[in-house]
Amino acid sequence: MVITPASAIAVLADGRWFLAFDRWHAYDEPGPFRPRTVGLFSSDEGKTWGDLVPFGDNPAPGVYHWHGRVTRMQDDRLFALMWTANLETGDAMPLHFVTSSPDAREWSVPQPTHIPGQTNGPVDLGGAGWREP
């Protein structure tokens, strides 16, 4: 397994840091390519990282998400937009989003935004921003 940073660090309400990563298929790893997004936590300002939590897992067959850019919203939850594709059909899909609990341990099921795109950069605009469908 290979993981690469996918986003800037999000500082949680309790002071811990959350960093999103893409999980990639290692060169010599057998099996099909299945990208995945995961997060790691640090409680010592980045000296150590642990407590891996997956997010952006889609129950639909062949649908995968990566490049999850994360931002902390005003209500302390995290929000991520992710590049999405069906790797079985080769079809690009609209960006999908997920939201977390304030401690970033629980994540919603990815939902489509209906916005075409790939790598992105979400921000919380307060009351003028994104509305979950």
- Ranges 22-26, 40-44, 70-74, 76-80: which has the least confidence: 22-26
The ranges assigned to domains in the chain are 2-124
Q: How many whole angstroms separate alpha carbon 73 and alpha carbon 113?
A: 17
Residue 133's pLDDT is what?
A: 53
Q: What is the pTM of this model?
A: 0.87
pLDDT in tens, 70-126: 999 989 999 999 999 999 999 999 999 999 999 999 999 999 999 998 888 887 777
Fold of 2-124: Neuraminidase (2.120.10)
CB 16 within 8 A of CB 42: yes
What band does 28 get if pLDDT is binned at 50, 70 and 90?
confident
Q: How many whole angstroms separate alpha carbon 93 and alpha carbon 18?
A: 26
Three-state DSSP class for residue 126: helix
Q: Name the nearest CA neighbour of 39 among 118, 104, 99.
A: 104
